[in-house]
Structure 1
Amino acid sequence: MGRITLDKVRKAFGEIEVIPPLDLTIEDGEFVVFVGPSGCGKSTLLRLIAGLEDVSGGEIRINGKDATNVPPAKRGLAMVFQSYALYPHMSVRKNIAFPMKMAGVPQDEQDKRIAAAAAALNLTDYLDRRPGQLSGGQRQRVAIGRAIVREPDAFLFDEPLSNLDAALRVGMRMEISELHKKLATTMVYVTHDQVEAMTMADKIVVLHAGVIEQVGSPLDLYRAPRNKFVAGFIGSPKMNFIEGAEAAKHGAHSVGVRPEHLAASPSEGTWKGTVGVSEHLGSDTFLHIHDTGLADTITVRVGGEFGLHHGDTVYLTPQLDKIHKFQADGLRIE
């Protein structure tokens, strides 16, 4: 069981309230991602759940029991940090075994858990190596293995892939997602990378200045963002926003349209502009369009072989059923 409930939980440092009272329920077995820009409170919220920070108000319940003042080691949670925090003089085997040794787990049980964790993380051939002989991705897997052998009710991940290069990040993303399927254990994962959030989560919690802006599945947030902040944060490249007369035509203070919901043509369309920088990614090209009279830059996603270049005239046509409308206060108009 790994159900976590936050009831009016708040956090203040002196007079500064970094997390106003919030409510959130993480169901048993869910993969929940906290996402938001730097300073939004996502890591602080994770640390409150872990017990590494004291709450300033409210209650944290784990599996229905009040854990607000329970020490971290007694909460039944395992945390994986951004830094691997491995003991350099110990082998992989001893690093993974360390929390079990501290807990007094019998040696035969330790061996069994180490073998199972190593098999799940493709570390079996590396158990006798030291961390210095491993790649960054392998070291992060060792840190995850050390958490697995504790057999926790839930795993807490604090930006675990931030120190890895782009290719390793993609690989580890897949490995952690597969691990979640194998273990069927609750996982709470913090990242500032919305691509990680979209590809890994069952449920995303979008945070801004300590406030939960929206909770939902990745596709829910993509298709129906609650406000402009969520609309601009979820999706890559980010949504284009337009105000003024064009927004008024749609009965809104502002409208948003994603780059993939714009068609580009060299000869005809709704909005006329000039091609600026083109980002060629192979299968896709991102065109940054200027001189539309709508916004400083409109980004459009087109096929990789699209034949327009810097300075060319281009016409853009939005998919009308994919235009998002927002009020003056930023809330979505249904």
Structure 2
Amino acid sequence: MGNITLNKVSKSFGTTHVIKDIDLAIDHGEFVVFVGPSGCGKSTLLRLIAGLEDVSSGRIMIDGTDATGLAPAKRRLSMVFQSYALYPHMSVRQNIAFPLKMAGNDKAVIDKKVGDAARILNLTDYLDRKPRQLSGGQRQRVAIGRAIVREPEAFLFDEPLSNLDAALRVNMRLEISELHQQLKTTMIYVTHDQVEAMTMADKIVVLQAGRIEQVGSPLDLYKHPANRFVAGFIGSPKMNFVEGAEAKRHDASAIGVRPEHLDISTTEGLWKGKVGVSEHLGSDTFLHVHRDGAGPNDETITVRTGGEVMLAHGDTVYLTPQADKIHKFDAQGLAIK
């Protein structure tokens, strides 16, 4: 099946608590992404599910069976690491077949499963090559192929694209998403890149300091962040935050407005400021505006506008947040409904 449930799962290394009372339900066939800043515990949580780390307390259930004390090999999960971990002296065919050979499968079964995996991953023409003869993206596909042939209940990906260049990252992101649609198997994917999380996930788990801040679909988190941390982490460019008198006008400790929810004018608007850095990306332009009268804790306001806007450094502009897109937060950083 591929249902995974975590009940009050915690992990400590000595006196350091890295995972703190995690409750989480992952349904069969879901693509779930663990996302958060470096050191938030997302990779450790994945390793706990895989059985590569022992839990300090709590339970991990896989398809209704308590897997907390099971060895990794008995959990029927396949893990794809950041490093490809391929055997350099073996061909692509031999690398993909390795777990089947170790499990004692006969040659006919191995050949069929390797052939099926190679076809799904567009590796058929590369089966007799060595890893050194492949690109980074092809090597990662071989590592995924080695996981596929095991026919696991779930795939666990630990930042699998971080060693690839930008173009390959985009291609592999699409390929993994397409693979999920073909296999319909549960996938848990760890990344620090919220763009990967937003574009790939059915469900995102946002982590900070070993705790879950919020769980939901990409659009749920984008439209209804539970707190200031999630609001600032989800979305690119990140949300703008304004404190002081402007926030008090909305009965809040801080307000947040996304760059795409600010109207810009050269003649009138709620906030006056001067254009600093302009980033022209073709279809979009990101303007970094220094707001007049901004408090010491208020950052420069980022505005997302059309690619044809030709404002220059030092130009005076006026910004007006769209009233129905303003997010409000209390003194503890929690969203005010």
TM-score (norm 1): 0.99
- Report if the CA contact (8 A) 2:241-2:299 is conserved: no
Task: Classify the secondary structure of the residue corresponding to 2:225.
Answer: coil
- Report if the CA contact (8 A) 2:31-2:200 is conserved: yes
Task: Classify the secondary structure of the residue corresponding to 1:263.
Answer: strand
Which residue of structure 1 lines up, in the alignment, with residue 25 of structure 2?
A: 25
How far, CA to CA, are the matches of 1:329 and 1:37 in structure 2? 20
Q: Give matches, 1:104-183, under 5 Å.
A: 104-183=104-183
Task: Classify the secondary structure of the residue corresponding to 1:199.
Answer: helix
Instruction: Name the Cα RMSD after superposition.
Output: 0.6
**Which stretches of structure 1, 4 residues or longer, exceed 3 Å deviation after superposition?**
none
Which residue of structure 1 lines up, in the alignment, with residue 330 of structure 2?
A: 327
Fraction of identical pairs, as percent:
76
Q: Which moved more, 1:231-240 or 1:104-113?
A: 104-113
- Report if the CA contact (8 A) 2:291-2:301 is conserved: no
Which residue of structure 1 lines up, in the alignment, with residue 236 of structure 2?
A: 236
**Letter of the 1:296 counterpart:** E
How far residue 251 of structure 1 moved from its aligned partner, in angstroms, is 1.1
- Report if the CA contact (8 A) 2:278-2:285 is conserved: yes
Task: Classify the secondary structure of the residue corresponding to 2:32.
Answer: strand
Which residue of structure 1 lines up, in the alignment, with residue 280 of structure 2?
A: 280
**Letter of the 2:157 counterpart:** F
How far, CA to CA, are the matches of 1:56 and 1:91 in structure 2? 40
How far, CA to CA, are the matches of 1:2 and 1:101 in structure 2? 24
How far, CA to CA, are the matches of 2:326 and 2:62 in structure 1? 41
How far, CA to CA, are the matches of 2:243 and 2:275 in structure 1? 21
How far residue 293 of structure 1 moved from its aligned partner, in angstroms, is 2.2
How far residue 47 of structure 1 moved from its aligned partner, in angstroms, is 0.1
Which residue of structure 2 lines up, in the alignment, with residue 246 of structure 1?
A: 246
How far residue 268 of structure 1 moved from its aligned partner, in angstroms, is 1.4
Residue by residue over 1:197-244, the C-alpha shift from the partner in whole angstroms, topping out at 9 and shown as x without a partner, is: 000000000000000000000000000000000000000000000011
Correspondence for 2:321 among 297, 314, 318: 318
Task: Classify the secondary structure of the residue corresponding to 2:55.
Answer: coil
Counting matched residue pairs gives 334
Q: Give matches, 1:5-84, under 5 Å.
A: 5-84=5-84
How far, CA to CA, are the matches of 1:105 and 1:251 in structure 2? 66
Task: Classify the secondary structure of the residue corresponding to 2:155.
Answer: strand
Which residue of structure 1 lines up, in the alignment, with residue 263 of structure 2?
A: 263
Task: Classify the secondary structure of the residue corresponding to 1:333.
Answer: coil
How far residue 16 of structure 1 moved from its aligned partner, in angstroms, is 1.1
How far residue 261 of structure 1 moved from its aligned partner, in angstroms, is 0.2
Unmatched tracts of structure 1, length 5 or more: none
How far residue 292 of structure 1 moved from its aligned partner, in angstroms, is 2.7
Task: Classify the secondary structure of the residue corresponding to 1:147.
Answer: helix
How far, CA to CA, are the matches of 2:330 and 2:103 in structure 1? 55
- Report if the CA contact (8 A) 1:42-1:207 is conserved: yes
How far, CA to CA, are the matches of 2:308 and 2:166 in structure 1? 24
- Report if the CA contact (8 A) 1:260-1:301 is conserved: yes
How far residue 296 of structure 1 moved from its aligned partner, in angstroms, is 3.3
How far, CA to CA, are the matches of 1:149 and 1:76 in structure 2? 12
Task: Classify the secondary structure of the residue corresponding to 1:117.
Answer: helix
How far, CA to CA, are the matches of 1:321 and 1:275 in structure 2? 25
Unmatched tracts of structure 2, length 5 or more: none
**Letter of the 2:131 counterpart:** P
How far residue 291 of structure 1 moved from its aligned partner, in angstroms, is 3.5
Which residue of structure 2 lines up, in the alignment, with residue 299 of structure 1?
A: 302
Which residue of structure 1 lines up, in the alignment, with residue 192 of structure 2?
A: 192
How far, CA to CA, are the matches of 2:324 and 2:29 in structure 1? 35
- Report if the CA contact (8 A) 2:275-2:287 is conserved: yes
How far, CA to CA, are the matches of 1:190 and 1:228 in structure 2? 22
- Report if the CA contact (8 A) 1:11-1:56 is conserved: yes
How far residue 307 of structure 1 moved from its aligned partner, in angstroms, is 1.8
- Report if the CA contact (8 A) 1:206-1:215 is conserved: yes
TM-score (norm 2): 0.98
Residue by residue over 1:164-217, the C-alpha shift from the partner in whole angstroms, topping out at 9 and shown as x without a partner, is: 000000000000000000000000000000000000000000000000000000
- Report if the CA contact (8 A) 2:271-2:291 is conserved: no
How far, CA to CA, are the matches of 2:209 and 2:326 in structure 1? 27
Which residue of structure 2 lines up, in the alignment, with residue 202 of structure 1?
A: 202
**Letter of the 1:323 counterpart:** I
How far, CA to CA, are the matches of 1:291 and 1:75 in structure 2? 55
